[in-house]
Structure 1
Amino acid sequence: MKKLSIFDFDGTLFNSVDDVVICFNEALAKLGFECLNREEFFSCLGGNIDEILSLVLKDQNTPENMEALKETYLDIYYNSEKENTLPFPGSHELLLKLQEMGVLLAINSNRFTDSIESFVDRFFDDIDFVLIEGHNFDTPSKPSPEGINKIIEKAGVSPSQAVYIGDSGTDIKTAQNAGIDCIVVKWGYGDENVWQNDYVLECVDEFSQILKYF
């Protein structure tokens, strides 16, 4: 049985893409670049912000354009209400149940750590996470296993006692690089290619299906 559950944030615990698309398109329009629809933006997700910027800008992803878009987007995003960014139904209930069972909980994401913490404080203030390891400019981002390794070390468990829960191919690679099992959720931003990956322990349709591993 597992003792540590490490969650991805975007597309796993929180439905966050709509606010990201709104703010990115506002930034793109402000700078005179072509906007993206929701489906087009899905193909850009998974990496850290620089990797997303590069995909969003396509053949216009020069260092100057990327820096301008990053600065404009972050200013718009951090000053927006982000009213569309909400926990997926059942996520809070699962975390509470796991916590009651004595399971250690953590988050590892390519979203900035302070952004994750702001949503956790707002929606999950009764959940005690061992560590929230988001993207920081001085450390490698997913699929590097560094974040997971930090969490496992702080939790004091072995890799075999941990499981990573995410929705994307990046999450699977991250778990694989860290040498831990991976569960994929189907309500996020992944697709059939992700769900059929041989490394995945199980693809789940509901949060309740995760409980049996603990």
Structure 2
Amino acid sequence: MRSETRWTHVIFDLDGTLVDTVRDIAAALNYALVQHGLSPLSIAQVRAIIGEGARRLVEQALPPHEAQRVDSVLEEFLHYYRSHVADHTQPYPGVRELLRTLAQHGVVHSVLTNKPEDLTRQILARLDLTECFAAVCGGDTLPQRKPDPAGVWHLCTMVGRQPRETLLVGDSGIDRTTAEAAGTSFCAALWGYRPHEIADCPLKAAEPGDLLSIVLAARP
């Protein structure tokens, strides 16, 4: 039975919204950088550049004069990361309870991320979250990726919901722009990696439990 809430479909960003992946991403990125004789980055530096996909991550990690190494560093990064994708990655506190309670109210969940789809599904499987989501759209699922709205529309079609019934939850300005372009509502996940980009959003949650209150309080 469908919920009486305004939103019957919630799309979640992955990194920095559902799960904290920064330690594993940093380990893989720094491994690749060091293999190429380059200096590693701090956790804070890596956190600030997560969200635009693996290639963009590597591009931002490299010094300008090393830009020609993007392809080789990216290959090394992905090779390492595929074997260490969930060594330290965990759902944020309260995420499992959030997903379970929303599902009890008839809300469908999906994932929209710029991370490759196979890595996204690997993380969800390792964390026993696969069954929580009706659909997944990664950065390579379609020709377009966030902030292009195509991924949102794709997920809406897959789960049988309209954009107006959908709430996109994310931790960055990219997620916000995606929601605006797609015609969905947006809620800022302030517990994530780039809260300064979305702190002025009308809908915002400091922790996953706040998001539950927002969704269930939204009556037609």
Shared fold (TM-score greater than 0.5)? yes
Could you tell me how far apart the structure 1 residues matched to 2:182 and 2:96 are? 26
Which residue in the other structure is 2:18 paired with?
Answer: 13
User: Quick check: 1:95–1:127 contact (8 Å CA) kept in 2?
Assistant: no
SS where residue 183 of structure 1 aligns?
strand
**Which TM-score applies when normalising by structure 2?**
0.89
Which residue in the other structure is 2:143 paired with?
Answer: 139
RMSD, aligned CA: 1.7
Could you tell me how far apart the structure 2 residues matched to 1:97 and 1:26 are? 39
Could you tell me how far apart the structure 1 residues matched to 2:209 and 2:151 are? 26
Which residue in the other structure is 2:3 paired with?
Answer: none
Structure 2's unaligned 5+ residue stretches are 1-5
How many residue pairs are counted as aligned between the two chains? Answer: 210
Which residue in the other structure is 1:40 paired with?
Answer: 45
Could you tell me how far apart the structure 2 residues matched to 1:118 and 1:35 are? 26
Could you tell me how far apart the structure 1 residues matched to 2:73 and 2:151 are? 26
Could you tell me how far apart the structure 2 residues matched to 1:209 and 1:7 are? 15
Alignment of 1:190-201 (within 5 A): 190-196=194-200, 200-201=201-202
Point out the structure with the larger strand share.
1
> Which residue type is aligned with residue 42 of structure 1?
R
Alignment of 1:76-95 (within 5 A): 76-80=80-84, 82-95=86-99
1:31 paired to 2:32: no
Alignment of 1:54-93 (within 5 A): 54-62=59-67, 64-80=68-84, 82-93=86-97
User: Quick check: 1:186–1:203 contact (8 Å CA) kept in 2?
Assistant: yes
Deviations 1:189-212 (A, max 9, x none): 01333212xxx3412112122223
Aligned-residue identity in percent:
26
Could you tell me how far apart the structure 2 residues matched to 1:195 and 1:43 are? 15
Which residue in the other structure is 2:100 paired with?
Answer: 96
**Which TM-score applies when normalising by structure 1?**
0.91
Deviations 1:133-152 (A, max 9, x none): 01117511211111111011
Could you tell me how far apart the structure 1 residues matched to 2:126 and 2:178 are? 27
User: Quick check: 1:96–1:127 contact (8 Å CA) kept in 2?
Assistant: no
Which residue in the other structure is 1:209 paired with?
Answer: 210
User: Quick check: 1:99–1:127 contact (8 Å CA) kept in 2?
Assistant: no
